[in-house]
Chain A
Amino acid sequence: FRLSSLIGHISTCPSLIGQCCQRHPGSVDEFQEELVIRPLHSGDIYASFQFRTLWDTDFLQEGQKVSHYRLFPKSLGQVLSKFSVRELHISFTQGFWRTMQWGQPFIPSPPGAELWVWFHDTVSDVDGNWKELTNVLSGIFCASLNFIDLTNTVQPSASFKPLGLGNATDHRFLRYATLPREIVCTENLTPWKKLLPCGSKAGLAVLLKSEKLFHSSFHSQAVHIRPVCQDEQCTSKAWELRQTLNVVFDLYTAGQGKKEWSLFKMFSRTLTEACPLATSSKVYVDITDNPELFELSPATPLLSQAVVLGDRRTYSVYDLSRAETFGQLRSLNLLLRWKGDGEMLRPLLHAERYVAGFGLQTGEIHTVIYNNHPYRAFPVLLMDSVPWYLQLYIHTLTVTSKSRDNKPSYIHYQPAKDRHRPHLLEMLIQLPPHSMTEVTVQFERALLKWTEYTPDPNHGFYVGSSVVSALVPSMVAMNTNFTQDQPLFSSFVPVKEESSYFVRVYTEPLLVNLPTPDFSMPYNVICLTCTVVAVGYGSFYNLLTRTFQVDEPSLPLAKRLANLIRRIRGVPLLT
C-alpha cells in the first residue's frame, strides 16, 4: 500500500515540476527594455528608451485585492486601483520637437507636462478622482501637478481616444490637462528611474545620467499605462506599463562639432550587462540610409526590419542578453562615424502656431498645418485648449486652405467660463494635398485680479500646445497583426488598417503677455497719501484744536529749595 502511494506520488511530481519550471509561482509579469538610436540628418542623434512591464492581472476584479507586486511598481498599481483608472498617460518634456528637422518622434509629447487619463465607467465623480489623482502623481513624480485644476482641464470630445483595449468610449470619462510651464530636471528623473525593476543599476538604465540627458536639445520622459492584449487571440487583458525617454543630443553643445557619436559621448557610460529581470534587452540602430550616411562599429550580424511611422526601416540589433555582444572588454560602446550627408524625407504632417498682433489689448492666434503629401488628402483633428484669460472671439474663426475657405466637417466648441474652465475647440479639417491650412481666431486679453498674477508676471503666460491628430497615408503597408516579437517602438500605437498610420503632432506653446499692473502702486499710494495727510492736514488740525499754555522755565536748585521752604511758610513763591 505504501509503495503504491509512493509511486503515485512520484508520478505526479514531474507534472508539478514541469509546471513550476514554466512559470515562477506568483509571477505573471515580464519586463522588456530597448534603446533605439536614430541618427538625424543634421548631425544630431535621437535616442529613444522604452521600458515595458507587462502584467497579467486585473486590478478591478471583485474580491481580489492585489497585494504582491514584483516588477510592476507598487505606487502606480495602487494609484490605478484606487482611482479606477483605465488608461494613464503622463509626460514631462523639456524643449520642443522640431518636426521639419528631425522627422516624427516615436512617442510625441508637448513641452511641459501633459496628463490625460481615461477612467472606468464605474466612476461616479470623475472630477473628484481627477483632482486627487493629480495630487498623488505630483508626489510620485516630484512635479507641481497639483496646479492642474478645473481652470486648465478639458474634456476632449473626439481627440485622445484610448490607446488600449476597450470598446465603449464615452468621453465623459476622459480628462486632459497640460502645464506648459512645468520644468523637467533631475528631481523628475530620479523617481522615474526608481519605477524601473532594475532601477538605474543594470541594463539600459545605467545610461540615464542627468548631466548628459538635460544638456540636450530635447528631453522627454513619459509613463504610459494601458490594458493590452495578453496574446495573439486577444481573449484576455494584461496591464502594460511603458516608460519612455526620448532625447535628442545636439551636435554643437554635446558633440563639439565633430560628426561622430558614441554611447560614451552621449551618455558618459557604456553598457556592461542587460537587466537580469528583463526577458529581452536590445539596442537598435537605424541603418536604413547606410552605407552612405555613417559607419557603425562594432558590427553586428543581427538585422531587423520594421515598419514604423509609415516607412520600412532597417535596424542593426545588439542583443544584450548574449554575452558576445559585449566583446572582449565586456562593455558595449557603439560608435557612429559620419561619412556623408543624406536627404531627409520631409514629414507628411507638420504644424506651427504663433500669436499675431500688437499691444496688450487684442491679438490673433494663427495655427498653420502643412500637408506635404503630393497627391493624397487626409483629415486631421485639431484640438485647441486656450486658458480663460485669452477671451476668444469665435465669430472671427477662419479656416483657409490654398487661400479658399475650408469648412471643417466637425466643430466642437466649449466656451470658457471666467476662472472656471478654459476654451476647448476641436475641429475635423480635411487637408488638401500639398497645401498649407491656416486657422485664425482673434482674442482679447483679460485683466486678472491682482492676487492671480504669478510672482513673475512680466515673463508672460503660457498657452498649451495645440494637438493635431491624423491618420496619415502610409507609403508602406503597415503591420496590423499583433505579435509579441515586434520591437517596442513599432507597437505603441495600435494599427487598424494597413494603408495609414496614426500620428499626433504638437505645436509650439504660446507665450502671451497680459496687461500687468504696477504691483508697487498700493504701497506708493499709501505712503504718499499718509504723508500728505500727516503733514498737510495734521498740522492744520493741530493749529485749530490745540490749546496753548505758557510753559514755566525750570528753576535752578537753590531757588527750588527756597520755594519749598516758602510753601511750608505759606508765602508766595519765587518765579
Chain B
Amino acid sequence: MDYYNLLTTCAFIHLLVSIPYAYSNYVENKAGQFFSSGHTNNWAVLVCTSRFWFNYRHVANTLSVYRSVKRLGIPDSHIVLMLADDMACNYRNPKPATVFSHKNMELNVYGDDVEVDYRGYEVTVENFLRVLTGRLPPSTPRSKRLLSDDRSNILIYLTGHGGNGFLKFQDSEEISNMELADAFEQMWQKRRYNELLFIIDTCQGASMYERFYSPNLMALASSQVGEDSLSHQPDLAIGVHLMDKYTFYLLEFLEEVHPASQANMNDLFKVCPQSQCVSTPGHRTDLFQRNPGSVLITDFFGSVRKVEITKDTINLTSSLKPLIQRSGSGDMQIESLTYVDQLPVAEIIHQKPKQKDWHPPDGFILGLWTLILLVFFQTYGIKHLKHIF
C-alpha cells in the first residue's frame, strides 16, 4: 500500500512538474514559429522614375503600393518613397492634392498623410543606388536613408518606362540590369538584407531580374522580355491613364490582405494572369532559399512586429532633475534687450564696405606675372637683378 501510495505520489509530482514543462515547450514552439521567417524588421523602397504629366500612372502605381504597405504596418520611417514628379499639386490636376487610382475618382491613393523622401530632380540613378548600398553623404537625414540590417526584409518596387535590360530615370538616364544586380550583391556582402522582394512594373520588366546572382532574392515583373506592360483605364476628367494593369490588379489583391492574413507568395504569382494583363507576368524564385508557398505576403508588405513578453521588472531612473531656476537678480543683465532696427537707413548709407578676405593671386594672374618676369629677365639679363635688390 505504502509503496503504491509512494508510486502515485511520485507520479503525481512528476505530472505536476511536467505540465509546466510541457506548457513552456508549447510556448517555445510557438515562439519558434514566430521567428521562423528570420526577419525582425521590414523596409520598403518605392520608386517612380517618370516625369511629366502624361506619366501620371507611374506615380499612381507607386502611391498605391505605398498605401498598401502603410496600411499593413510599415511606418513612414521605414519607407523610402521616391517620386520623380509631382502629380498631386501639378497645375494640370483638376483636383489638387489627390492622385486617383480608379476612374470616377473612387480611391485617392495620395491621402492626407504622405511623406515623400526623394522628389523631383532628386530621383536619379545615383541617389537610388546610394540609398540601396547605404553610401550616402554624412549629412543625409535619417528619413532619406535605408537603415536596414541583416535581419531586415526589404520590398523594392520600381515603375516607369523600361526596355530590354534597362529602366529609364526621368527621361535623361538609365539603370541597367547589371548595375541593379551588382547593387544587390553589394547589399548582400554588407549584410543589408535578410530577404529581398523585387517587383517591377515596366515594359519588358523580366529583363531586369535576369542578371541577379545574390542569394535570398525573389523577383516579380509585369511582363516578359519582348512584351509591353499596358496601362489600365483613362479617366476622362483628369485626361490621362490612371494606373498600369499589373499594379491595378496587385492593388486589388493587396486590398484583400490584412495584417493577420496567411496569404502567401504563390497567390501573389497568380495576380494578373494574361487574360487580365495582356502581358505575361513573370517571377523568379531560384535564388530564394525558402519555398514561396511558405512565405507570407506580410513578410514583405507588412510589418508584423514580434513581441517578447518578459516577467522581469525594470526600475525606471529617478525623477527628473529639478528645474534649474533662473538665477537670482544678481546674475541677470540689468539693461533690457531690444529688437533690431529693421531698416536703419542712416546706418546702411554709412556702412563701410566689407573687408574682403585676401586671397593669393589666382592661377592665371600668377602665370601672367611669371611670363612677364621671365621675358623681362631674358631681354635684359640677370645682372639687372641688382637694381631690384
What is A's interface to B at a CB cutoff of 8 Å? Answer: 25-26, 28, 64, 68, 94, 131-132, 135-136, 138-140, 142-144, 146-147, 157-158, 161-167, 169, 171, 181, 183-187, 190-191, 209-211, 213-215, 229, 233-237, 379, 381, 409-410, 412, 428, 454-456, 469-471, 493-494, 496, 502, 519
B348 pairs with A410, CB closer than 8 A: yes
A-side contacts of B353, CB under 8 Å: 412
Task: Give, as a whole number of angstroms, the nearest-CB distance from A103 to chain B.
Answer: 20
Could you list some 27 contacts between A and B, CB below 8 A? Answer: A94-B89, A138-B144, A144-B119, A144-B120, A161-B343, A162-B340, A165-B340, A167-B337, A183-B86, A185-B97, A186-B111, A186-B114, A211-B95, A211-B97, A214-B96, A215-B97, A229-B337, A233-B336, A235-B334, A379-B343, A379-B345, A409-B349, A410-B348, A469-B343, A471-B343, A496-B341, A496-B342
Assess A166 versus B340: contact at CB under 8 Å? Given A135-B141, A209-B112, A211-B95: yes
B-side contacts of A139, CB under 8 Å: 140-144
Which residues of chain B from 90 to 122 have any CB-CB distance to chain A below 8 Å in the complex? Answer: 95-98, 110-117, 119-122
Chain A contact residues: helix, strand, loop or mixed: loop
**Complex Cα gap A169–B97 (Å):** 41
B-side contacts of A140, CB under 8 Å: 141
Partner of A235, one of B96, B97, B336, B342: B336
**Complex Cα gap A161–B172 (Å):** 42
B326 interfacial contact with A, CB 8 Å:
yes
Assess A237 versus B96: contact at CB under 8 Å? Given A136-B141, A144-B120: no
B33 interfacial contact with A, CB 8 Å:
no
A455 pairs with B115, CB closer than 8 A: no
B343 pairs with A502, CB closer than 8 A: yes
B-side contacts of A211, CB under 8 Å: 95-98, 112
Additional 17 contacts, C-beta under 8 A, given A166-B339, A186-B114: A132-B139, A139-B144, A146-B122, A161-B341, A165-B339, A169-B340, A185-B86, A186-B88, A210-B97, A213-B97, A236-B326, A236-B337, A379-B343, A379-B345, A428-B345, A455-B170, A455-B172
A-side contacts of B122, CB under 8 Å: 144, 146-147
B314 interfacial contact with A, CB 8 Å:
no
Task: Give, as a whole number of angstroms, the nearest-CB distance from A389 to chain B.
Answer: 16
Task: Give, as a whole number of angstroms, the nearest-CB distance from A199 to chain B.
Answer: 11
**Complex Cα gap A100–B340 (Å):** 30
B236 interfacial contact with A, CB 8 Å:
no
Chain B contact residues: helix, strand, loop or mixed: loop
What is B's interface to A at a CB cutoff of 8 Å? Answer: 51-52, 86, 88-89, 95-98, 110-117, 119-122, 137, 139-144, 170-172, 320, 323-324, 326, 332-334, 336-345, 348-349, 351, 353-354
**Complex Cα gap A136–B143 (Å):** 10
A-side contacts of B340, CB under 8 Å: 161-167, 169, 494
Task: Give, as a whole number of angstroms, the nearest-CB distance from A491 to chain B.
Answer: 11
The residue in chain A whose Cβ has the minimal distance to the Cβ of B354 is A157
A-side contacts of B334, CB under 8 Å: 235
The residue in chain A whose Cβ has the minimal distance to the Cβ of B169 is A455
A165 pairs with B341, CB closer than 8 A: no
B89 pairs with A184, CB closer than 8 A: yes
**Complex Cα gap A555–B114 (Å):** 76
A186 pairs with B142, CB closer than 8 A: no
Partner of A493, one of B113, B338, B342: B342
Q: Which of B121, B140, B340 has the most CB of A within 10 A?
A: B340
The residue in chain A whose Cβ has the minimal distance to the Cβ of B84 is A455
Task: Give, as a whole number of angstroms, the nearest-CB distance from B384 to chain A.
Answer: 38
B-side contacts of A381, CB under 8 Å: 343, 348
B-side contacts of A132, CB under 8 Å: 139
B339 pairs with A496, CB closer than 8 A: yes
Partner of A185, one of B88, B95, B333: B88
The residue in chain B whose Cβ has the minimal distance to the Cβ of A428 is B348
